[in-house]
Amino acid sequence: MIPDEQHVPDAQLVEAALHGDAESFRLLFERYYTMIHAYAYRSCLTETEAEEIAQETFIRAARGINSYRGTASFKNWLYRIAHNALIDWKRQSSREAGKRLAFTEEIASQEKEEPPDFTQVHSALDQLTPELRETVALVYFEEMNHGEVAAVMGCAVTTISWRIFRAKNALKKLLGSRKGAFS
C-alpha cells in the first residue's frame, strides 16, 4: 500500500499502474469513480445505466492505460473515456430502447427519495437533447470550463458555448418561474 495515498499525485499512480501495480490503479479508481458515476448519471439520468457507464469507463481505462500519454490530466482522460462510453450507450439505447427503464419508471421508484423540486429539474434536463444535457452536466455539475468540456467532447469551445446558451434558454422555458435557475 502507498503511504498517505490521498496525497500521491495522479502521475505517480498512473506510472505505477503502467508497470502493473494493481494497487495504484485501485487508488485511481477510488479517487475518480464517484466523479465519473455522477457525470454519467447527470448525462443519462438513469442510475443503473450510470453505474454501467462508470464501470465501463474504468474497464476501458484499465485496458487502455498504456495509451495514456499525460498530455491531458488523468481526470480529463477519464472524462473523455466516459464521454465515449456515453456515446456508445446512446447508440445502444436507441437500438434497444426496450431494454432500459423509462425515465418515468425511474422517477416513480425514487419518488420518496427525491425532493419535489429536483423532480422538475430532472424532468427538464431529460427534455434536453443528449448533447445539451451532457454539456450542462460537465459545465454546471462537474464544474469544468468550456475549454475542458470541448476537449472531453471533441468539439470546438464555441460549440460548447453555443450549447450552454441553448440549454439555458430551454431550461428557463421548461422551468418557468424558477428564478435564478441556470443563470
Distance between CA atoms of 86 and 45, rounded to whole angstroms? 12
List the chain pLDDT tens, one digit each, 183 residues: 445 677 889 999 999 998 988 899 999 999 999 999 999 999 888 888 999 999 999 999 999 999 998 888 999 999 999 999 999 888 877 665 544 444 445 545 555 544 446 788 888 888 999 899 999 989 888 888 988 999 999 999 888 989 998 998 888 888 875 555 555
Residue 59 and residue 25 in one domain:
yes
182 within domain boundaries: no
89 and 29 share one domain:
yes
Domain, as residue range, for 154? 103-176
Question: Which whole-number Å values give the CA distances from 122 to 18, 25, 36, 52, 93, in the listed order?
Answer: 39, 33, 19, 20, 19
Domain total in the chain: 2
**Whole-model pTM over 0.85:** no
Do both 15 and 94 map to the same domain?
yes
Are residues 93 and 126 located together in one domain of the fold? Answer: no
Question: What pLDDT is stored for residue 104 in this prediction?
Answer: 46
